[in-house]
Amino acid sequence: MEKLTAKEDEIMTFFWEKGAMYVKDLIDLYPDPKPHFNTISTMVRALEAKGFLAHKKFGYTYQYYPVVTPEEFGEGKITGVINKYFENSYLDVVSAFVKKDKIQLEELKKLIEEIEQANNKKR
């Protein structure tokens, strides 16, 4: 999954909160001074090119809608961090949280249960 700029992330948050919108609707969500229509339109088209948005055509205008959920986006970001900083080792990630007291024993037990349930479903 491609990375997003801070502004693209902001726009995607609007789409995830509001659903399908026209560019003019998106601009209305910004405080004054509002960004220029062409600026937002260009960013929305870039998000579509990156695979985050799609559109429906209504006459001469387009209504854009998200095709990536916030959860899918979050998973992609987490995977990127794990790949970059933990050499793709999920165990190292959990170990780092344990060492910093960011995850407790009961949470680890719950995680183990979830892993066991997922493995049982695969059988």
Question: For 23-47, how does the pLDDT look when each residue is reduced to its tens digit (9 = 90+)?
Answer: 999 999 999 999 999 999 999 999 9
Instruction: Return d(Cα 95, Cα 85) in angstroms, integer.
Output: 13
| pLDDT one-digit tens code per residue, 97-121 | 888 888 888 998 998 999 988 888 8
> 43 and 7 in contact (C-beta within 8 Å)?
yes
Contacts of residue 19, Cβ cutoff 8 Å, sequence gap at least 6 = 65, 66
Q: Where are the domains of the chain?
A: 6-66, 70-122
The predicted model scores a pTM of 0.73
Strand order in the sheet with 61-66: 21-22, 61-66, 53-58
> 48 and 41 in contact (C-beta within 8 Å)?
no
Within a 10 A sphere around the Cβ of 96, how many other Cβ atoms?
14
Thinking of the domain 6-66, which architecture would CATH place it in? Orthogonal Bundle (1.10)
| pLDDT one-digit tens code per residue, 58-75 | 999 999 999 999 999 888
